[in-house]
Amino acid sequence: MSDPVLWHRLQFAFTIVYHYLFPQLTMGLALLIVVLKWLGLRHDGWNDAARFWIRIFGINFAVGVVTGVPMEFQFGTNWAAFSRYAGGVIGQTLAMEGLFAFFLESSFLGLLVFGEHRLSRRGHFFAAVALFVGSWLSGYFIVCTNAFMQHPVGHSVGGDGRLQLADFSAFVLNPWALAQYAHNMVATVVTGSFVMAAVGAFYALQQVHVAHARRFLRVSVLAGLTASVLVAFPTGDGQAKLVARYQPASLAAMEGRFESGPMAEIVLIGQPNVREKRLDNPIVVPAVLSFLAFGTFHANVAGLDQFPVNTWPDNIELLYYSFHIMAGLGTLLILTMAVATLLEWRGSLTTSRPMLWVLMLAFPFPYIATTAGWMTAELGRQPWIVYGLMRTVDGASPTVHSGTTLFTLLGFCGLYLVLGVLFLFLIGREISEGPGPLDAHAASHLEVRRG
Amino acid sequence: MVELWYGIASVMLAAYVVLDGFDLGAGALHLLVARTDRERRQVLAAIGPYWDGNEVWLLATGGVLFVAFPSVLASGLSGFYFAIILVLWMLILRGISIEFRSHVEDPLWRAAWDFIFAAASLALPVLFGAALGNLLRGVPLDHDGWFSLELFTDFTAQPPVGILDWYTVLSGVFALLAIAGHGGAFLAWKTDGPVQERSRRIAMLSYAAVAVLWPLATVLTRYVNAPMLEALPGRPLAWLSLALAVAGLIVVAVGLRQKRDGQAFLGSCAFLTGMLAATAACVFPVMLRSIDPGVHSLTAYNSSVPAASLETAFTWWIVGFPLAVIYFVVLFRLHRGKAVAAEGRHGY
């Protein structure tokens, strides 16, 4: 209870996990909305479909914005020592995000959500593109910031012991950032696709908005299959190879691997037993981990035995399960979309009730997979806040007491619970109302303005 | 380079106060100037397209401090921990109330969000003003540059100090009045009908109070930060800023009286900018003042990152800043004219 770092970590983890439920849909949907608006340039039906998703996007974006602001500030409030130490480097990308991404997004959001009657169809399409560019740019700056914490490059240590920027292009083109960004962004498209497919399946099962159900399903299963395959290969594979190379202790912990050796097996199922330093009840496939990590079946893959215990990730069980949940769900998501695409190709998706049921209920799983994925990244980085340079325990604010942080954590929990209920209520209303033509009110509003 | 980045941080902060100030002020006056649903939607339509972008200036200011003066950001945010978290909660509630209010056509739903919007918009300027008061008065920094503060102690503004004392409460009240006047001037400019009338009247009252309180608060600053006022004669930039603020105040008074509301709003922008710039020019280079004379303050010089990093950051800042300005110009042009209340579940 009295360890302040634990509460700082829990508060940051809770607020970031909650926050990221929203931007992942924002970013994934932004791409799909661009596709819908592009199809809508020539066809009203697609334009109506886009309008529906833009309304969902607007509500989702609002919650993403308000829960995002605390993230920026918690670097200073909760991780002051880290901010002082690394601000000269990571401040660059955090400030660039505000200047290059947030201003762009905030300026065009109103035009996208409420400005359709004010813009030409092409103009509205460009507003959608602006939101896509802004939100994906924002994603890069944040991933790049995180990549520096995972795999610091482009820095030097100054005379005062703090980090400073030595090579800007090395820092912003960090190979870790490029791989993690690709992996993360295709994952957002998976989330967006599953959400769109769930609404499409819901309408198809209800036999309402049938034409729109068909449109939602067609776009989402194709995008969903493509993106969910890309999440695994090449992006997930590339990310895993970087972990193997630069964070070998994390890889060992992710796989519950306590002993080093060649022909390393990949673990499908098993329970890491940290006290006994072994994996209980394992089901494994030999040599696959060596191949996936280093490209040959004979490669030696380090186990935790090669690393001092004080550099082991501090919650190996949670890390192990997070990684396996992510990888397992990722596989299931590919399978789901593959079957759905097959049915769509045969023209029977909208009449296949079992598949529609699966699609309607599957949408939480990409959220769980991305959350587990980020938990893998963040728990795997422990015990470091900047890998190999600063420990997490040394990064917390020195003057904030554990009781204060516990209090504010509880405050965030309560506030976010209310926010979640309101969000679901509003989204539910939008879904039950469904897509429709450009609202008559909005059109008359236009007349008033011009008149 | 350090001076340049101190200037950049000041400019960004002033942009935040001027821009988010008008939507915070409009929110603080929301229940007073707008009585019916239609009137309230007029207020929301006036600020709806801007509030999110305006708030980005706060994040961008934080970003600039992060990149150039990380120690100031780290000490300041962690030292004021609970107050900052309170600001975050208010920002969350406020943003959500603007965005969610009109989604449901139910009087109770809308009244609840109107109340939350107004309450959060009232609290924020007070908190920001008190924060500025704390920075001017000084905080109990230790030798490593860290501090933490109680919410209040004995209100004397002498050590041991708390976040709230007579001086910081005065700053908070002053900030609320200035922001209310600013928001009122904005609404007078962007709305018509009864909302415009009421906004104009409240803007006049607020600015009248500001005209009285401003000199008073400045003189009283002597008791908490004498060096700041002593620095004034030697800072030509501060004179210019003060002249701008005084001119702005006159333009506000004349503009509101003659019902030239756009002009009055510009005057209000000039007043806020001038006042902040004068403050920034007088306290330079101190950013986080130590209340104990035996402990060094955090200054722009001792807390900045190396010059090479500042130069790198400047190369992208000089590209990004004009872009941000262009977005705002485009946004204001697209929404020129009076704001019209939306109907039904669409619009703000």
Per-residue pLDDT tens over the stretch A273-311: 999 999 999 999 999 999 999 989 999 999 999 999 999
Nearest residue in chain A measured CA to CA from B321? A99
Answer yes or no: is pLDDT of A440 > 60. Answer: no
Residues 162 through 201 of chain B touching chain A, CB cutoff 8 Å: none
Across the interface, whether the CB atoms of B343 and A444 are under 8 A apart is answered: yes
- In angstroms, rounded to a whole number, what is the distance separating the alpha carbons of residues B79 and A84? 13
Percentage of residues in chain A having pLDDT higher than 70:
97
- pLDDT (tens digit per residue) in A171-216: 999 999 999 999 999 999 999 999 999 999 999 999 999 999 999 9
- CB contact under 8 Å between A95 and B60, yes or no, is yes
Model confidence pLDDT, tens digit, residues B283-316 = 999 999 999 999 999 999 999 999 999 999 999 9
Q: Does B92 touch chain A (CB under 8 A)?
A: yes
DSSP structural state of residue B103: G
**CB < 8 Å to A84, chain B:** 70-71, 74-75
> Looking at the partner chain, which of A84, A158, A404 has a beta carbon nearest the beta carbon of B74?
A84
- The model carries a pTM of 0.95
Q: Does B140 touch chain A (CB under 8 A)?
A: no
Largest CA distance in chain A: 78
Residue in B77, B89, B342 closest to A415 by CB: B89
**Beta-carbon separation of A103 and B73 below 8 A:** no
Instruction: Specify whether the CB–CB gap between B30 and B333 falls below 8 A.
Output: no
A244-269 pLDDT, tens digit each: 999 999 999 999 999 999 999 999 99
> What is the pLDDT at residue A7?
96
Q: What is the DSSP string of B258-324?
A: TT-HHHHHHHHHHHHHHHHHHHHHHHTTEEE-BSSTTSPPEEHHHHSPPHHHHHHHHHHHHHHHHHH
* Minimum mean pLDDT range among A86-95, A215-224, A438-447, B32-41: A438-447
Contact B29, B180 (CB under 8 A): yes
**A99: nearest CB among B104, B306, B320:** B320
pLDDT grade for A449, boundaries at 50, 70 and 90? very low
Q: Show contacts of A389-392: CB within 8 Å, 24+ apart.
A: A389/A152, A389/A163, A390/A82, A390/A85, A390/A86, A392/A5, A392/A9
Cβ pair B96:A75 closer than 8 A: no
Q: Pick from B165, B113, B178, B102: which is nearest to B136 by CA?
A: B165
- Domain ranges for chain B, please list them: 2-230+278-334
Q: Shortest Cα distance from A39 to chain B (angstroms)?
A: 24
pLDDT of residue A439: 66
Three-state DSSP at A283 gives: strand
The whole-number pLDDT of residue B54 equals 95
CB B23 within 8 A of CB B45: no
Answer yes or no: are the C-beta atoms of B319 and B17 closer than 8 Å.
no
Which residue of A59, A80, A106 is in closest CB contact with B77? A80
> Taking all residues of chain A, what is their mean pLDDT, rounded to a whole number?
94
Cβ of B344 within 8 Å of Cβ of A65? The answer is no
The pLDDT score that the predictor gives to residue A445 is: 44
∠ CA A389-A393-A399, rounded to 5°: 120
* A102 contacts B146? CB cut-off 8 A: no
Q: How far is B230 from chain A (nearest CA, A)?
A: 31
The pLDDT score that the predictor gives to residue A1 is 61
pLDDT tens, B177-210? Answer: 999 999 999 999 999 999 999 999 999 999 999 9
**pLDDT, averaged in runs of 10, over chain B (348 residues):** 95 97 97 95 94 95 95 96 95 96 93 97 97 95 93 90 95 97 97 96 97 95 92 93 97 96 97 96 94 93 92 95 94 90 83
- DSSP structure class, residue A259: S
Percent of chain A with pLDDT over 90: 92
